[in-house]
Structure 1
């Protein structure tokens, strides 16, 4: 359908809220949220007031003289975003996927308000400081790559780590869910990915209805739960024998949770801390714009031609770029310090000796299962890499 200056446009009901730098626009029909500059907000307001498109373009060009105002192209963008309900009196029929879910409405709002507020935030921060002090005065509790090897058989260690990790991830996501229910908003659990690894994520899209400061509480909530887990686990370890199975399990809990907290700082992935940086700065395309900035010096980083920083965001994007590089360095350090030694230890001390055992030995079959696990993981990684290459090419 051709759009001209004589075209009559009607929009779906929209909710507009000003943020630090720009505006957040919600399509109240689809529950989608978009960041827009002031010129777009004024254009939407004039369209809603039945202004003529030619008049709107002229008025905006005079007021925003440093902007390239093209109202026809803007209308086309609104159509792509499902903002337009009628064109020249004809209803736009499009299949719109509603973002609904169970919303965890069975969780009382009061629980979220009690657990996550400005007072409890100070308590969680105190627990974080307490955990750091415990580790400083008890260096034997600092996570070590051998902490996951508490049993003689690798299959037992793998299953134990898997179950503990699953429980801790569920607790982390439960923190997000309880926090957003404290705002009487709905949430959904989804499968996402970090690099090539599947992760469980809480969809906090409804949090865009809130001011940036309150959205930060939703994002911090998962890390608050992690801090509580670390603090309690370290306290329990102080009163247990170091060689007991229970102390070993607590060691895995501390190791797993601390490493996941460190990964939050790896903002080259869209972690909770990355979204907190977005909220604090008011720039909601930091990842894309930061990669574009770095692509000038690192050709391996693919540039995204579809995005560019709004006016005034350039300095913030440059600063984020340094966090981006620091996150990559931190990931390399974690991998080199923890995961590579873990794999070397498991292969040399557990898998290889197991193959020296007779076929009737459980250690032999334990080594076989562990080897198959390694092959499976490498196969999945290879599949992910080749799939990414096929899509990009």
Structure 2
């Protein structure tokens, strides 16, 4: 469907709200959100008034003399985004899926507000500060790489750690779910991946309906729940140091797990909760993509992607600053490997190999065999996954 300056466009009903720098446009039928500058909003308002593209172009060129105005190109973009219902009275052919109501609507907003309100939000921040203070004042509580080795059995250690880690992943995501339900907005829980890690992800798309300040609570909700558990674990360790050794050891695993996950949130080369908070505070909603473009000048492995978007005017200073944190996140990951993951792997496999080669009990021998077996299985699955990702699917389209 070819557009001309004489074309008249009919848009789907749109919801528009002011954001940090630009505007957030919602198409309620599909539930899609788009960020647009003020000149685009002016154009949409004139389109809704029934003006032709040529008339709008002339008015906008007069109002924004320093801007490049091309209404035919803008109209084609609106069609591509699925926002155009009719052109010159003729219906645009496209498949538009109606957004689902979302999951977790059975959780009452009042329950969400019980956990996330003006008072509790301050309490979560206070707990974080207390936790940091406790680590500073009591260095013996600081997580150590050997904290996960609670038992003689290496398989039992792995199962225990994975079970605790999975439990707190669910706790983390329910923090996000309860926070968004406190605003009576729908959400759903998906499974995704970051690097080689499989992760649960709470869909916070509907949070774009909220003001930027309200969205910040949603991003920190999971970490807020985690810090509450860290505070409880630290207090028990301090107040009851002579408690059951297994119980104290499990508390140590909890602290270790959340500590690593909190540092992981600071790895800005991935889209973590803290990354989304920074995006929200700066109003730069393509920060990672723009940052990778900026860094690709010096880091060849960060190739520009055809889907990468250009930063809005005035964002380049923020993008440069983000690039520094991007590199810092990579260095932080290397530190985690050097001080935690590599020592853990060395300790675990040295114990396992010792149990295989030396005269040990049958239980220790078969525990070592099982541990090496699961290692081989995980490596095989990882290599198969990488191989599958490297294949280019055949397409009959030219």
Task: Give TM-score scaled by structure 2 length.
Answer: 0.94
Deviation at 1:382, TM superposition (A): 2.8
For residues 1-393 of structure 1, the aligned pairs below 5 Å read 1-238=1-238, 239-241=240-242, 244-305=245-306, 306-349=308-351, 351-356=352-357, 361-390=362-391
Residue deviations 1:351-390 (CA, integer Å, cap 9, x gap) = 1022226798122222222112222332333344444444
Deviation at 1:51, TM superposition (A): 0.6
SS state of the match for residue 198, structure 2?
Answer: strand
Flag structure 2 segments of 5+ consecutive residues without an equivalent.
none
How big is the alpha-carbon RMSD for the aligned residues of Structure 1 and Structure 2?
A: 2.0
Residue deviations 1:202-234 (CA, integer Å, cap 9, x gap) = 000010000000000111111111110110111
Contact residue 103 and residue 185 of structure 1 kept, 8 A: no
- The worse-fitting range, judged by mean Cα deviation, of 25-34 and 367-376 is 367-376
Deviation at 1:304, TM superposition (A): 3.1
Deviation at 1:192, TM superposition (A): 1.5
Deviation at 1:28, TM superposition (A): 0.8
Determine the C-alpha separation between the residues in 1 that align with 2:338 and 2:285.
32
Task: Give TM-score scaled by structure 1 length.
Answer: 0.95
Call closer, same or farther: CA 1:223–1:380 in 2, change over 3 Å: same
SS state of the match for residue 255, structure 2?
Answer: helix
Deviation at 1:120, TM superposition (A): 1.9
Contact residue 29 and residue 97 of structure 2 kept, 8 A: no
Determine the C-alpha separation between the residues in 2 that align with 1:89 and 1:97.
22
Deviation at 1:38, TM superposition (A): 1.1
Residue deviations 1:262-292 (CA, integer Å, cap 9, x gap) = 1111111000000100110011000000111
SS state of the match for residue 190, structure 2?
Answer: strand
- The worse-fitting range, judged by mean Cα deviation, of 381-390 and 124-133 is 381-390
Q: Tell me which stretches of 4 or more aligned residues in structure 1 moved more than 4 Å.
A: 357-360
Residue deviations 1:36-83 (CA, integer Å, cap 9, x gap) = 111111111111111111111121122222222211111111111110
Contact residue 57 and residue 71 of structure 1 kept, 8 A: yes
Deviation at 1:137, TM superposition (A): 2.7
- The worse-fitting range, judged by mean Cα deviation, of 140-149 and 65-74 is 65-74
Deviation at 1:29, TM superposition (A): 0.7
Contact residue 29 and residue 99 of structure 2 kept, 8 A: no
Determine the C-alpha separation between the residues in 1 that align with 2:243 and 2:262.
24
SS state of the match for residue 220, structure 2?
Answer: helix
Determine the C-alpha separation between the residues in 1 that align with 2:338 and 2:266.
17
Determine the C-alpha separation between the residues in 2 that align with 1:212 and 1:262.
24
Determine the C-alpha separation between the residues in 1 that align with 2:102 and 2:30.
16
Flag structure 1 segments of 5+ consecutive residues without an equivalent.
none
- The worse-fitting range, judged by mean Cα deviation, of 335-344 and 62-71 is 62-71
Call closer, same or farther: CA 1:392–1:282 in 2, change over 3 Å: farther
Determine the C-alpha separation between the residues in 1 that align with 2:129 and 2:60.
52
Contact residue 289 and residue 317 of structure 1 kept, 8 A: yes
Residue deviations 1:114-166 (CA, integer Å, cap 9, x gap) = 32223222211221122122222322221111111111111111111111011
SS state of the match for residue 382, structure 2?
Answer: helix
